[in-house]
Structure formats: structure tokens, C-alpha cells
Amino acid sequence: MSKSWLPTLFTDTPEEGYALAIKLSRTGVKLTQPDTEVLTRLRPIYADDPDSLVAVSQVIAINFQTVAAANGYWKAA
């Protein structure tokens, strides 16, 4: 059995949680469009589009909300 790319949502700090949210977002793109040639060709288009950049930020924020909730918002127990 292969090692899971996402063994847990638990992180020690909010910063690690944010990095995990970015990883979740990037993995979502890779799984949705597995053709690297297409991704490479399209990147300059969305990289210069403010609406696309805002959409990326929204996806990361949603994933960060999920990670934060899984971590009890990093409050001490």
C-alpha cells in the first residue's frame, strides 16, 4: 500500500496549518488537471488575472478553515 499524501490534518502551529492548506489547494489542482503541459501553458494566463488570484486565495482560505477546525483552532486544552 502506498503512503498517503495526507496522513493527517493535525499540525502543531497555525503556520504549519496554512502550509497544509496550500498543499491541499495545490494537490486539488494537480488531481483536477493531471496534465503538466496544460498546467504550464495556462499558468501565465491565470497568474496575471486578478480574479483568478482572488479565487486562489479563497480556496486556500477555505482549506485553512478546515485545517484550523480540525486543530481546534490551536487553542490550548
pLDDT surpassing 80 at residue 36: yes
Residue range 28-32: mean pLDDT, rounded: 94
pLDDT of 60: 98
Stated as kind and residue range, the H or E segment containing 32 is helix 14-32
Max intra-chain CA distance, the chain: 47
Distance CA 72, CA 42 (A): 37
pTM: 0.88
